[in-house]
Amino acid sequence: MRDTTLETQLRLLILQTESWKKLHDFITYALDKSKPIISAEQEHQFTEIRSILLQEIGHAFKELDLVAELSGKAMNVLQRASSVRGVRELSGEETRRLESDWNAVFTRVGVVQGQLKARRRELLRRSALRQIFLRIFGRKATVR
């Protein structure tokens, strides 16, 4: 049996992780001075990802009960990283803060995702055991 709330939370986390990864790809690109060209298309894609994150972090963090912990850090990242060009022009200190905040958000999201996956696995295993009991005794059995 699948827990629908758990599945929804996992879906939200996977989507969040994907978006934060994509944002990081752009930040890494922007900070790599050996790649001089920043195209309009890249800026467009970067704005798209920012827009998605800005819309979704409130809802996603609320669903996952992470608002107090991550909301501030996530907003710091999104405000500092206003564009690919903007990231390239950040000072050394600001870059460090940006990376540190991104890392804090990404790490926490990753940890929660792992915990939820473990919980799902546990639930699935428990259901399988219940099925075995049902087959053996031919009636409903509760396994705690």
Binding site for another protein (CB under 8 A): 2, 4, 7-8, 10-12, 14-15, 22, 25, 41, 45, 52, 55-56, 59-60
Select 15 or 111, whichever has its Cβ closest to another protein.
15
- Of 35, 120, 119, nearest in space to 84 by CA: 35
How many C-beta neighbours within 10 Å does residue 58 have?
A: 13
CB of 120 to another protein, least distance (A): 11
Select 68 or 128, whichever has its Cβ closest to another protein.
128
Query: HSE-up of 131 (CA within 13 Å, CB side)?
Result: 7
CB of 13 to another protein, least distance (A): 11
CB of 141 to another protein, least distance (A): 20
- Of 69, 25, 67, 64, nearest in space to 48 by CA: 25
